[in-house]
Amino acid sequence: MSVLIVSGTGTGVGKTVVTAAVAALGLARGAGVAVVKPAQTGLAEGAPGSDLDEVRRLSGVSDVHELARFPGPLSPEAAARAAGRPPLNLRDAAEHAAKLASGRDLVVIEGAGGLLVRYDRAGTTLADLAGWLGAPVLLVAEAGLGTLNQTALSLEAMTARGLALAGLVIGSWPERPGLAERSNLADFETITGGPPAGALPAGCPRAGRAGFLAAARAGLAPVFGGEFDPAVFLAVHSFYPGKAQI
């Protein structure tokens, strides 16, 4: 898995934190890791606070690549249009990622918003980028109410385009999950055909780098370098009517 696409069921679901967790675990096991953000929106050129700034802070990975930035807090295509600038060419982004992958063990690409967010007027999306690179998609989902429809639609779009699912990760698992969060765990299994590949605890970005690495290790599956055990997680947190909870 030399190239991994991180996408979400929408915006604000925890893609950057999951990207940082994957990168941190790769770095911890001695891998050469690069992280790519094809298009950052919502920040002026040179302003701090980008997604890659957060990835660098949390993971310690310094090999980061932002290919375009637009100030409007919009989709990449709309933000480029609002700025009166040409949109990012995702074909160029694919070439850039492929070159990086030739000299690294892992290249993690964090998308903007969801899988089908537009990057140009022709409607090119992160799904196209994943297809060109032959890269699996790690799908990040919310834990609570409303997430099942968004997750199912994202997976349906992936299946229609022949994209491989690297796993489903819950981007922010609450300290005190409610009925919706606990019930959704069983439904995630039904939708994806398997257990989640991880769940990162809410608040872990505030834990400092060592604490974040520990959270990443506990919250991501072994395929990503972690120790997440979905059977244990589901036994503790899932809600099934009539089942005694641990």
Among 225, 157, 233, residue whose Cα is nearest residue 188: 233
DSSP-assigned letter for residue 172: E
Task: Give catalytic status of residue 37 as yes or no.
Answer: yes
Question: Could you give the angle at which helices 179-192 and 147-160 cross, rounded to 10 degrees?
Answer: 10
Q: Where does the chain have alpha helices with state H? A: 15-28, 51-59, 76-83, 90-101, 126-133, 147-160, 179-192, 208-219, 230-237
Find the helix or strand (DSSP H, E) in which 227 lies. Answer: none
Tell me how far the alpha carbon of residue 161 is from its chain's centroid: 19
Which of 15, 37, 99, 243 is catalytic? The answer is 37
Which tokens go with 5?
């696409």
Number of H helices, E strands in the chain: 9, 9
**How far apart, in whole angstroms, are the C-alpha atoms of residue 96 and residue 107?**
11
Active site residue ranges: 37
